[in-house]
Amino acid sequence: MNISLPETMKSFVDDQVSQRGYGTSSEYVRELIRRDQDRLQLRNLLLAGASSAPTAPVSETYFEGLREQVSSAAKVAGKTRRQP
């Protein structure tokens, strides 16, 4: 795939590549595309959540349980990575 840019945009991309440590302009463009994909995915999730049926309110206990689950999963993942 080839992309044509006006000189001002090409200069901008070249500056971003050098200032942000990208190896090539292709790496910079791929990163922009990934960010746009992430933004669209988040937007779709937000729209899906907004159109879903309401649920019962959650309490502090609910969030404490989530924190415990995340903490336990992180500990297990840490032990798994350290094993040779």
Q: Write the pLDDT tens digit of every residue in 13-39.
A: 999 999 999 999 999 999 999 999 999
Q: How far apart are CA 27 and CA 35, in angstroms?
A: 12
Q: How far apart are the first and last CA of the chain?
A: 42
Percent of the chain with pLDDT over 90: 80
Query: Identity (one letter) of the amino acid at 70?
Result: V
Statement: residue 58 has pLDDT above 60: yes
